[in-house]
């Protein structure tokens, strides 16, 4: 009787141990969205951002496979783009901080994000993985819509992501050998394209004259680059006279002034100012490319002041 009881007890203990080892060992991935923030396409530079994916793995209390390889596959085709309607903003995601290795899918011959985790003293471990994003440089014609900041997004769906993992003891697998998906991790990528403008100018230089008995004409230019779809206007101030309707160049060293004016048109009928005193401003809509606007200058016939060098400084202000 005693012998039979001991045998039954040993089998019961073995069954309890086997049941403990049969508990599932699993991993899951929880991504944050990747937000590029504000983007000005006319600045022509690349824009970088990062996101995170939290990987959580759970082991049995007692396990023969204390290590796990986790592979995060991203199968969206290239070129990758954020969208607003039919408008596109090119971007990509990378596995490295240098943004040289595109994040892809091992099953398609690409490079997934991979991490090896080892069982902690407890049963659950969470590791945070960085995803490196970059909006491509030299996309000046990406537009805004309705003359306002415009959000571009990409919803990366479950169909574009695959979480593959394998627990092991000594010899670990590689991502290409893990062909069975254990789940997905959809996330969103977004950027806010803003209205923006840059402005530069070339001088209006009148030819030397002995007397001012006839009008002198000369041209300069203002070059602007504004976001595609961005309405803008350019005002010119009154310079040293403070009066947009009656500008004057002052003699270097003092002792004289020359009246002159700046115009929007080659016929020199529309005075270019700030919208006050009967003047007008240059207006337009950005294309993302440089736009050159001619400044038409004229010194009207007038009493000739003392010989010397005469100049004025005009401030051009672009509003958008």
Is-contact 59 126, C-beta < 8 A?
Answer: no
Structural domain span for residue 256: 197-319
The CATH number for 217's domain is 2.60.40.1090
Which of 134, 165, 193 is a domain's end point?
193
Regarding predicted confidence, which is higher, 190 or 17?
A: 190
Which of 132, 159, 193 is a domain's end point?
193
Does any domain span residue 5?
no
Q: Are residues 219 and 233 in the same domain?
A: yes
Does any domain span residue 12?
no
Is-contact 60 120, C-beta < 8 A?
Answer: no
Q: Are residues 171 and 290 in the same domain?
A: no
Q: Are residues 206 and 183 in the same domain?
A: no
Q: Are residues 168 and 40 in the same domain?
A: yes
Residue with tokens 């004289």: 256
Tens-place pLDDT, residues 79-89: 999 999 999 99
- For residue 271, the model assigns a pLDDT of 98
DSSP assignments along 211-248, one per residue: --SS-EEEEEEEEEEE-BT-EEEEEE--GGGT-TTSEE
Indicate the helix (H) or strand (E) that contains 4.
Answer: helix 2-21
Is-contact 148 195, C-beta < 8 A?
Answer: yes
Average pLDDT, the chain: 93
* pLDDT level of residue 24 (50, 70, 90 thresholds): confident
Tens-place pLDDT, residues 141-184: 999 999 999 999 999 999 999 999 999 999 999 999 999 999 99
Question: Cα–Cα distance between 319 and 86 in angstroms, integer?
Answer: 28
Q: Compute and round to an integer the Cα radius of gyration of the chain.
A: 35
Q: Are residues 99 and 177 in the same domain?
A: yes
Q: Are residues 94 and 54 in the same domain?
A: yes
- For residue 318, the model assigns a pLDDT of 98
Tens-place pLDDT, residues 87-117: 999 999 999 999 999 999 999 999 999 999 9
When divided into structural domains, the chain yields a total of: 2
């Amino acid at each position: 009787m005693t012998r039979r009881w001991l045998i039954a007890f040993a089998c019961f203990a073995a069954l309890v141990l086997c049941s403990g080892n049969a508990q599932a060992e699993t991993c899951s991935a929880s991504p944050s969205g990747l937000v590029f923030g504000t983007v000005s396409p006319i600045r022509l530079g690349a824009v970088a951002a990062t996101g995170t994916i939290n990987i959580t793995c759970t082991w049995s209390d007692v396990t023969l496979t204390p290590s796990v390889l986790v592979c995060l596959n991203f199968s969206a085709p290239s070129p990758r783009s954020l969208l607003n309607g039919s408008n596109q903003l090119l971007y990509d995601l990378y596995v490295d901080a240098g943004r040289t290795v595109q994040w892809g899918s091992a099953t398609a011959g690409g490079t997934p994000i991979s991490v090896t985790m080892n069982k902690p003293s407890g049963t659950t471990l969470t590791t945070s993985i960085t995803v490196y994003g970059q909006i491509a440089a030299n996309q000046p014609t990406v537009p805004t819509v309705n003359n306002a900041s415009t959000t571009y997004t990409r919803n990366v769906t479950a169909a574009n992501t695959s979480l593959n993992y394998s627990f092991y003891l000594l010899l670990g697998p590689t991502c290409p050998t893990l062909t069975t998906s254990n789940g997905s991790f959809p996330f969103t990528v977004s950027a806010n394209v803003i209205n923006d403008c840059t402005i530069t100018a070339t001088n209006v230089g009148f030819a030397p004259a002995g007397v001012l008995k006839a009008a002198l004409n000369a041209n300069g230019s203002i070059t602007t680059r504004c976001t595609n779809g961005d309405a803008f206007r350019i005002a010119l101030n009154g310079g040293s006279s403070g009066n947009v309707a009656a500008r004057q160049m002052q003699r270097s060293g003092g002792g004289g002034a020359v009246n002159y004016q700046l115009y929007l048109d080659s016929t020199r009928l529309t005075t270019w100012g700030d919208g006050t005193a009967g003047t007008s401003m240059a207006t337009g809509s950005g294309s993302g490319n440089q736009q050159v606007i001619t400044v038409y200058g004229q010194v009207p016939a007038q009493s000739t002041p003392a010989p010397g060098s005469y100049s004025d400084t005009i401030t051009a202000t672009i509003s958008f």
